[in-house]
Amino acid sequence: MVSLTRHIFEQQCFQPDGAEEFFTIMNRIVSGGKRIARDLRQAGLTDGLGLTDTRNVHGEQVRHMDARANELFVEAFQDSGIVQLVVSEEMEEPFPVAAAKETGKYAVFFDPLDGSSNIDVNAPLGSIFSIHCLDPNGRFLKPGCEQVASGYLLYGTGTILVYTCGAGVHQFTLDPVVGEFFLSALNVQIPARGKIYSVNEGNRYKWSKNMIKVIDYFHENDKETGRPYAARYTGCLVADVHRILLKGGLYLYPGEVRKPEGKLRLMYEAAPLSFVVEQAGGLGSTGVERISTIHPKTPHQCVPLIIGSREDVETTEQFLSRK
Ligand code: AHG
Ligand code: MN
Ligand code: MN
User: Which pLDDT value is given to residue 323?
Assistant: 82
Going from the Cα of 201 to the center of ligand 3, the distance in angstroms, rounded, reads 21
Atom of ligand 1 nearest to the CA of 240: 11
- Atom index in ligand 1 nearest the CA of residue 236 equals 9
In the chain, what are the domain boundaries?
4-185, 196-320
Work out the number of other CB atoms within 10 angstroms of the CB of residue 281.
16
Q: How far is CA 155 from CA 88, 112, 131, 269, 274, in A?
A: 19, 12, 21, 16, 20
Predicted local distance difference test score (pLDDT) of residue 270: 98
Q: Which of 129, 244, 253 to mutate to test the pocket of ligand 1 (most atoms within 8 A of CB)?
A: 253
Mean pLDDT for the stretch of residues 44-64: 93
Question: Ligand 1 centre and the CA of 241: distance in Å?
Answer: 12
Task: Assign 33 to helix, strand or coil.
Answer: helix
Q: pTM of this prediction?
A: 0.97
Residue 189's contacts (CB-CB under 8 Å, 6 or more residues apart) are 280, 281
180-233 per-position pLDDT tens digit: 999 999 999 999 999 999 999 999 999 999 999 999 999 999 999 999 999 999
Architecture of domain 196-320: 3-Layer(aba) Sandwich (3.40)
Closest Cα partner for 43 from 143, 128, 122, 152?
A: 122
Residue type, 62: V
Q: What is the pLDDT of residue 16?
A: 61
Give the residue, by CA position, lying nearest to ligand 1 atom 15: 235
Look at domain 4-185 and name its CATH class: alpha beta
Tell me the angle at which helices 237-247 and 271-279 cross, rounded to the nearest 10 degrees: 10
Rounded to the nearest angstrom, the distance between the alpha carbon of 313 and the centre of ligand 3 is 25
Cα 9 to ligand 1 centre (Å):
33
| Whether 212 contacts 220, CB under 8 Å | no
pLDDT of residue 28: 95
In the prediction, which pLDDT does 259 show? 97
- Which residue has its alpha carbon closest to ligand 1 atom 11? 237
Closest C-alpha to ligand 1, atom 7: 115
pLDDT tens-digit readout, 282-313: 999 999 999 999 999 999 999 999 999 999 99
| Cα 236 to ligand 3 centroid, rounded to whole Å | 9
Q: Which residues line ligand 1 (CB under 6 A)?
A: 60, 89, 111, 114-116, 200, 235-237, 263
The string of pLDDT tens digits covering residues 9-23 is: 887 666 666 788 888
Quick check: 274 and 253 in contact, CB under 8 A?
Answer: no
